[in-house]
């Protein structure tokens, strides 16, 4: 039996080893992802995982956009592990063990989220991965001043599109706006039957006891 892993949250303590669908509602994920900063906050301004997810969705074909909103939702539970952080962990341990553990953790959480939201997990889809990479390069350029190397025309075009999105969506630098727009997209896709966010825990104070 796996030992419980208590995880303190504003909604109460949850068990990270036994997550339930009500631990990953739209409100919980949207609010959390909007408060987690990309690049561990080492950018000119805060840019959240929720905002990043909206950017990636904008670069994806329509059928991938529901999962694009959720492709980094596992970070609501394990944080945003940057590539340099992973490299440092590998330096301090065994690379194969570190990479295996991280991949398994992300995969396990992705499957739980996909099942709870009734959305196919598309994290390894080639088009989604390309959109995620283009978003990363544009964010690094726009927020860190790190000019990307663009070896081919298709990547350059995708980075151009991502850069225009960043320039046109400064409002998403506000985490509340990022949360609002992320939830708005969730509502849109849910209304089209493309996802079904799980319901929240019932509020005990609103329950009427039978006589």
The CA-atom distances, in angstroms, between 90 and each of 78, 93, 102, 173 are 17, 5, 11, 32
CA pair distance 45, 29, nearest whole angstrom = 22
Q: What is the pLDDT of residue 208?
A: 42
If we measure between CA atoms, which residue out of 77, 61, 82, 80 comes closest to residue 116? Answer: 77
Q: What is the pLDDT of residue 2?
A: 73
pTM: 0.93
DSSP 207: P
Q: What is the pLDDT of residue 203?
A: 57
Structure-token pair, residue 204: 């005990």
Q: What is the pLDDT of residue 156?
A: 97
List beta partners, residue 12.
9
- Neighbour-count burial of 107, counting CB atoms closer than 10 A to its CB (0-12 exposed, 13-18 middle, 19+ buried): middle
> Distance from CA of residue 15 to its chain's centroid?
20
What number of H helices and E strands is found in the chain?
9, 2
Per-residue confidence of the chain (211 residues) as pLDDT tens digits? 678 999 999 989 999 999 999 999 999 999 999 999 999 999 999 999 999 999 999 999 999 999 999 999 999 999 999 999 999 999 999 999 999 999 999 999 999 999 999 999 999 999 999 999 999 999 999 999 999 999 999 999 999 999 999 999 999 999 999 999 999 999 999 999 999 999 987 654 443 433 3
CA pair distance 164, 152, nearest whole angstrom = 19
Q: What is the pLDDT of residues 105-136, one digit of tens each?
A: 999 999 999 999 999 999 999 999 999 999 99
Please report which residue ranges of 38-152 form alpha helices under DSSP H. Answer: 49-59, 65-70, 75-78, 83-92, 95-117, 126-139
Q: What is the pLDDT of residue 202?
A: 63
């Amino acid at each position: 039996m796996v030992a419980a892993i208590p995880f303190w949250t504003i909604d109460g303590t949850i068990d990270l080893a036994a997550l339930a669908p009500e631990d990953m509602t739209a409100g919980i994920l949207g609010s959390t992802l909007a408060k987690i900063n990309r690049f561990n906050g080492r950018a000119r301004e805060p840019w959240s995982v929720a905002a990043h997810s909206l950017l990636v969705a904008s670069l994806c074909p329509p059928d991938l956009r529901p999962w694009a909103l959720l492709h980094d939702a596992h970070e609501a539970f394990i944080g945003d592990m940057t590539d340099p952080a992973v490299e440092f962990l590998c330096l301090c341990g065994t690379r194969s063990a570190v990479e295996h553990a991280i991949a398994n953790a992300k995969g396990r959480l992705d499957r739980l989220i996909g099942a709870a939201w009734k959305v196919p997990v598309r994290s390894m889809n080639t088009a989604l991965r390309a959109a995620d990479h283009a978003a990363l390069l544009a964010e690094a350029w726009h927020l860190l001043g790190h000019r990307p190397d663009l070896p081919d025309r298709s990547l350059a075009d995708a980075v151009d599109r991502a850069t225009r999105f960043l320039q046109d969506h400064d409002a998403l630098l506000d985490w509340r706006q990022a949360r609002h727009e992320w939830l708005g997209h969730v509502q849109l896709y849910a209304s089209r039957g493309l996802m079904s966010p799980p319901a929240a825990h019932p509020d005990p104070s609103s329950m009427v006891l039978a006589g």
